[in-house]
Amino acid sequence: MSALPIHRRTLTGLAKGLKRREFSSVEVTRSYLGRIAASQPDLNAFITVTGEAALAAAAVADARLASGQAGPLTGVPLAHKDIFCTEGVLTTCGSKMLANFVSPYDATLVARLRDAGTVMLGKVNMDEFAMGSSNETSHFGPVRNPWNTAMVPGGSSGGSAAAVAARIAPAATATDTGGSIRQPAALCGVTGIKPTYGRVSRYGMIAFASSLDQGGLITLSAEDAALLLGAIAGFDPRDSTSVDTPVPDYTATLGDSLEGLRIGLVRQFFDKGLDARCEAQIRAALAVYEKLGARLVEVDCPNLPLSVPTYYVVAPAECSSNLARFDGVRFGHRCADPKNLIDLYRRSRGEGFGAEVKRRIMTGTYVLSAGYYDAYYLKAQRVRQLISRDFAQAFTQADVLVGPTSPVPAFPLGSKTADPITMYLNDIYTIGANLAGLPGMSIPCGFVEGLPVGLQIVGPHFSEARMLNAAHRYQTETDWHLQLPAAYA
């Protein structure tokens, strides 16, 4: 039997192969760099490829592997979402505003993964400032779905998901404010994890909505996610909302039995908006869980249907404050020949931000403005409390909640760009976890007309180990996560 080609391996498989010296990190890195270059005209998944630096880092990793000083991730390549600051490397956040921004420092997540010996292949494309659900708002052009290039990859971490699905990177970092890890993972048929709010440092992760943003991962398997999450999770004094709670060994409990696990089916997740063909795949996945010993219980989250309107008050409000820092003075785009300071601000921002980002800044400005603050912002924060309580109540009856990640599979490019509300409703099943600060995952569970369907798992705060265990056990019974698009086989 011939050895499995490099790109067909999971990150865990690559790490094992590197340890056994079946191949070198330089060979692995070169293989992925070649695949990135070949895919770029079709997928546009990368904004910046750091080939030379990657090969140099791979050579260092090989020396460590040779001298027996390697850690579990030494020499494994991956890609970073272009929202994470990388010292000395272009960090654009998918925006014209930061098209020339070379970060002067590393995000904590980037530094931790580098210190763990991983090799950065480059920076992947994304919706501008992570605002979008289709990767069509990027200043650097849309990313396309490797399963069908007429379709979107989802967003905002569309580059991360497409890169992993096409095996042009074995894993990628990502961020999730309203579903930006889970929804593209679902639409591209890969595994995504959004940890608990505060689990992964936000330092150096360009802020969109600070009470919702959380960094995480897109990988090929729950096992890969467990390995990487252990490296990026943990307290960081540089993030004021980072939580100081121990990081368990997520790989240690992957194989635990699911006997007696109470899986909650949230009634509101199986609403009339859910594509019947997707629902059939979700129900089939639930049958696998029953076979594994889990028990299904119906739970009710009556306020959950208000999660999208709540989000579209809270997130734009926070975005309008966070993006006030882009003023054309200290960094970022500056307009030509400003007449005065107001003109400098207005034209630099008007030219530097794309249409969706401006829409969200204005929505946020409106809901925070005098006379509207109580009616919109304060009201939304009260409803957010109700949604949060619904989840807390659900977790008295269930250990994890399982349902669809997205109401529909990947949709055609351009089909939802005319009406922002239609686009916003893509995140109807994912936003709740962000509002309540809960961890969530999406794992592949089947196909509809050749397009992947994602199964969402949501757990109580800091239950990542349990979620990963549930995801891993499903992935040992099924091989949806190992399917790959024919064009990238």
Partner 1 sequence: MSLSRSDIDKIAYLARLELTEAEIPAYVDSLSRIIDFVGELESAQTAGIEPMAHPLPGLAQRLRADEVLETDRHEHYQRNAPQVEGGLYLVPKVIE
Q: What residues are annotated to the active site? A: 81, 156, 180
- Percentages helix, strand, coil for the chain, rounded to the nearest 5? 45, 15, 40
Told to check if 321 binds partner 1 by CB under 8 A, we report no
If the CB atoms of residues 49 and 383 are measured against partner 1, the closer one turns out to be: 383
Stretch that binds partner 1, among 4-12, 264-272, 281-289, 323-331 (CB under 8 A): 323-331
Residues contacting residue 299 through CB under 8 Å, at least 6 positions apart? 264, 265, 266, 267, 393, 394, 397, 398, 401
- Residue 264 binds partner 1 (CB under 8 A): no
Cis ω on the peptide bond leading into residue 103 (within 30° of 0)?
no
Name the minimum Å distance from CB 98 to partner 1.
9
Output the smallest distance, CB 164 to partner 1, in A.
27
349 touching partner 1, by CB under 8 A? yes
Interaction of residue 347 with partner 1, rule CB under 8 A: yes
Interface stretch with partner 1, choices 61-69, 196-204, 252-260, 267-275 (CB under 8 A): 196-204
Binding-site member from 355, 482, 487, 489 for partner 1 (CB under 8 A):
355
Q: Does 256 bind partner 1 (CB under 8 A)?
A: no
Query: Is 435 near partner 1 (CB under 8 A)?
Result: yes
Report residue 481 as tokens. Answer: 């996560």
Is 485 a binder of partner 1 (CB under 8 A)? no
By the rule CB under 8 A, 380 interacts with partner 1 = yes
Closest CA to 258 of 297, 231, 288, 299: 288
Stretch that binds partner 1, among 55-63, 148-156, 283-291, 308-316 (CB under 8 A): 308-316
CB contact set of 484 (below 8 Å; sequence gap of 6+): 8, 165, 166, 167
Verify binding: residue 99, partner 1, rule CB under 8 A. no
* SS3 category, 457: strand
- 351 is a site residue for partner 1 (CB under 8 A): yes
Q: How far apart are CA 362 and CA 306, in angstroms?
A: 21
Q: How far is the CB of 155 from partner 1 (least distance, A)?
A: 18
Is residue 206 within the footprint of partner 1 (CB under 8 A)? no
Number of residues that bind partner 1 (CB under 8 A): 75
212: contact with partner 1 by CB under 8 A: yes
Q: Which residue stretch of 39-47, 155-163, 355-363, 467-475 sits at the interface with partner 1 (rule: CB under 8 A)?
A: 355-363
53 near 87, Cβ under 8 Å?
A: no
327 binds partner 1 (CB under 8 A): yes
148-177 residues in contact with partner 1 (CB under 8 A) are none
Distance of closest approach, residue 466 Cβ to partner 1, in angstroms: 18
Q: Which of 312, 429, 474, 480 binds partner 1 (CB under 8 A)?
A: 312
Q: Establish if 116 lies at the interface with partner 1 (CB under 8 A).
A: no
What is the nearest approach in angstroms of partner 1 to the Cβ of residue 261? 24
Asked whether the CA dihedral 165, 170, 175, 176 is positive or negative, the reply is: positive
CA proximity to 162, closest of 138, 186, 130, 139: 186
Q: How far is CA 418 from the centre of its chain?
A: 24
DSSP-assigned beta bridge partners for residue 102: 90
356-368 burial by CB neighbour count: b if 16+ within 10 A, else e?
Answer: bbbebbebbbebb
User: Does 241 participate in binding partner 1 (rule CB under 8 A)?
Assistant: yes
Assign 403 to helix, strand or coil.
strand
Told to check if 309 binds partner 1 by CB under 8 A, we report: yes
Q: Which of 31, 148, 149, 211 touches partner 1 (CB under 8 A)? A: 211
373 touching partner 1, by CB under 8 A = no
Q: Phi/psi at 367 (nearest 5 deg)?
A: -70, -15
Collapse the DSSP code of 8 into the 3-class scheme (helix H, G, I; strand E, B; otherwise coil) and give the result: helix
Max Cα-Cα span within the chain? 71
